[in-house]
């Protein structure tokens, strides 16, 4: 994907106020498209994410013959079933989207035609073997470049076999890929998960879960082939986190964020921020397609840093960049560890965070699996230009930081925010107090 190398400037703002309604959750939106394309019939999806990553998934299915329509505020997805996809005429471009590449591999690897998945520069450096390993055990014919990276060559297959697979990395993408492949097999495929990861796939497919010693076993088989659904996608909690942290750190601020996903496998960020002294209240709660959602009321707070428990890391993995910004303004030492996975996200997020924090003048200690710094060293003499490294969450985290700084700040290569939230700037403008 080609981004304009925009430098975006942010001036200091004094407070935030009002109400925000954010686009749908990115992870749930990917799954809404994928499972609707697999179902036979028309599914209706409301509040789909506007993220470029989600558009990538949509376009890949378009190339595979899935048709869409828009009716009022709903996306209509005309699924044709597991084996009605057409052989793509060209390579399928997964752009910057790891979720698209990893989940769709599980579908293409079960087809009777060959295909190729490629990605942009960042995605082509991210590990794919974690997904192809179990899928090859199920009988898929997959060949990665340099044994771990995109482009991935997928050859036609005749028959797949079920496996019982214990996750080697705490990854919802790997878990989902194996469970999706299981839909193509009559016998039961099992995924054993010892560290909880986001569970949107299990919820949307209605898969059975068995408790076992030290974890859970999730089962999948052709019995759970998705049917057309009406889906309301709750708003993205990862996107909301940027505005939650901004509100907490601003003086005299109060914000309501509507219909936010409150799936417990994603709300770790709320738990951590509340333990840090954050004034966050859930003011209403409901459910849609098994997913919890609700309105959040956030108020200015004095934060202090806490020890972040190891077990919560997979739950907050996408929120660590913005949590770090909260950590800068909170009392005491900020430390994250056990997050080696950050090194293989859209950028090496440990390196990206450490670079920008040092750029600002903080003394930061970098580790293989995290970093630490003492907060309250906010002496700034000149406007700092932060580097996004083409990573949307790094760009948004330092945009929020810039809004909080007396002299503001600049973000280099800001355009990448489109990956998850193309309306980021308008949303900020809407809540300036």
In the complex with ligand S3P, which residue's Cβ is closer, 157 or 292?
292
In the complex with ligand S3P, which residue's Cβ is closer, 253 or 388?
388
Q: Could you say which residues in the range 19-58 bind ligand S3P, by CB under 6 A?
A: 27, 30
In the complex with ligand S3P, which residue's Cβ is closer, 107 or 157?
107
In the complex with ligand S3P, which residue's Cβ is closer, 156 or 216?
216
Per-residue contact flags (x/-) with ligand S3P for residues 258 to 277, judged by CB under 6 A: --------------------
**CB-based closest residue to ligand S3P:** 27
In the complex with ligand S3P, which residue's Cβ is closer, 253 or 324?
324
β-pairing verdict for 67-71 and 40-46: unpaired
Among 52, 236, 295, 318, binds ligand S3P (CB under 6 A): 318
Min dist. Cβ of residue 235 to ligand S3P (A): 15
- The residues that bridge with 219 in the sheet, in sequence order, are 190
Min dist. Cβ of residue 156 to ligand S3P (A): 27
Report the alpha-carbon distance of residue 359 to residue 361 in Å, rounded.
Answer: 5
Q: Which residues contact 278 (CB under 8 A, 6 or more apart)?
A: 244, 248, 298, 301, 303, 326
In the complex with ligand S3P, which residue's Cβ is closer, 191 or 317?
317
Catalytic residue among 295, 318, 391, 415: 318
Q: Is residue 155 within 8 Å of 141, Cβ to Cβ?
A: yes
96 belongs to the binding site for ligand S3P (CB under 6 A): no
Give the number of residues in contact with ligand S3P, rule: CB under 6 A: 10
Please give the distance of CA 14 from its chain centroid, rounded to a whole number. Answer: 30
Min dist. Cβ of residue 176 to ligand S3P (A): 6
Report the alpha-carbon distance of residue 303 to residue 334 in Å, rounded.
Answer: 11
Which DSSP string do the residues of 417-431 spell out, in sequence order? GGGT-TTHHHHHHHH
N residues, the chain: 433
CA geometry: angle 302, 272, 15, nearest 5 deg: 40
Q: Could you say which residues in the range 162-181 bind ligand S3P, by CB under 6 A?
A: 171-173, 176
Report the alpha-carbon distance of residue 317 to residue 110 in Å, rounded.
Answer: 30
Min dist. Cβ of residue 301 to ligand S3P (A): 26
Among 22, 317, 323, 403, binds ligand S3P (CB under 6 A): 317
Q: What is the sign of the dihedral through the CA atoms of 374, 375, 377 and 381?
A: positive
Nearest to 22, CA basis, from 433, 432, 428: 428
Written in H, E and C, the secondary structure of 254-275 is EEEEEEEECCCCCCHHHHHHHH
In the complex with ligand S3P, which residue's Cβ is closer, 58 or 198?
198
Min dist. Cβ of residue 263 to ligand S3P (A): 12
Min dist. Cβ of residue 215 to ligand S3P (A): 16
Min dist. Cβ of residue 341 to ligand S3P (A): 6
Running DSSP on this structure, what letter comes out for residue 109? T
Beta-strand (E) ranges in 241-355? Answer: 254-261, 279-288, 291-299, 333-336
Annotated catalytic, 318? Answer: yes
Q: What is the number of other CB atoms lying within 10 angstroms of the CB of residue 89? A: 6
Helix 98-108, helix 172-182: angle, nearest 10: 20
Among 8, 47, 119, 198, binds ligand S3P (CB under 6 A): 198
Catalytic residues: 318
**Site residues, ligand S3P (CB under 6 A):** 27, 30, 99, 171-173, 176, 198, 317-318
């Amino acid at each position: 994907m080609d981004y304009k190398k925009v430098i975006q400037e942010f001036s200091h703002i004094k407070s935030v106020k009002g109400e925000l309604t954010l686009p749908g959750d990115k992870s749930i939106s990917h799954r809404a498209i994928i499972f609707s394309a697999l179902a036979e019939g028309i599914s209706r999806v409301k509040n789909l994410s506007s993220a470029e990553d989600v558009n990538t998934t949509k376009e890949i299915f378009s190339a595979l013959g899935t048709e869409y329509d828009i009716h009022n505020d709903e996306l209509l997805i005309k699924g044709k079933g597991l084996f009605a996809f057409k052989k793509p005429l060209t390579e399928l471009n997964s752009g910057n989207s790891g979720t698209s590449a990893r989940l769709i591999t599980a579908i293409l690897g079960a087809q009777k035609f060959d295909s190729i998945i490629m990605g942009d520069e960042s995605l082509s450096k991210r590990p794919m073997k974690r997904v192809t390993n179990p899928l090859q055990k199920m009988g898929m014919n997959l060949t990665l470049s340099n044994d771990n990276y995109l482009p991935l060559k997928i050859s036609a297959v005749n028959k797949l076999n079920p496996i019982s697979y214990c996750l080697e990395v705490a990854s919802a993408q790997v878990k989902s890929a194996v469970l999706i492949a299981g839909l193509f097999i009559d016998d039961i495929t099992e995924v054993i998960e010892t560290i909880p990861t986001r569970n949107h796939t299990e919820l949307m497919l209605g898969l059975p879960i068995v408790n076992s010693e030290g974890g859970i076993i999730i089962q999948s088989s052709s019995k759970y082939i998705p049917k057309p659904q009406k889906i309301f996608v709750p708003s993205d909690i990862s996107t909301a986190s940027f505005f939650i942290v901004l509100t907490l750190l601003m003086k005299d601020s109060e914000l309501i964020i509507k219909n936010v996903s409150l799936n417990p496998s994603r709300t770790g960020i709320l738990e951590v921020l509340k333990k840090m002294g954050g004034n966050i209240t859930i003011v209403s709660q409901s459910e849609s397609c098994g997913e919890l959602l609700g309105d959040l009321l956030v108020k200015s707070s004095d934060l202090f840093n806490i020890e972040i428990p190891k077990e919560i890391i997979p739950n907050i993995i996408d929120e660590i960049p913005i949590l770090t910004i909260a950590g800068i303004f909170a009392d005491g030492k900020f430390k994250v560890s056990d997050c080696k996975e950050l090194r293989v996200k859209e950028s090496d997020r440990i390196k990206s965070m450490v670079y920008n924090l040092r750029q600002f003048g903080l003394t930061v200690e970098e580790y293989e699996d995290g970093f630490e710094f003492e907060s309250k060293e906010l002496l700034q003499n000149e406007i700092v230009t932060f580097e996004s490294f083409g990573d949307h969450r790094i760009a948004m985290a330092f945009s929020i930081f810039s809004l909080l700084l007396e002299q503001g700040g600049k973000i280099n290569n800001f355009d990448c925010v489109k990956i998850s939230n193309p309306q980021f700037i308008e949303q900020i403008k809407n809540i300036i107090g």
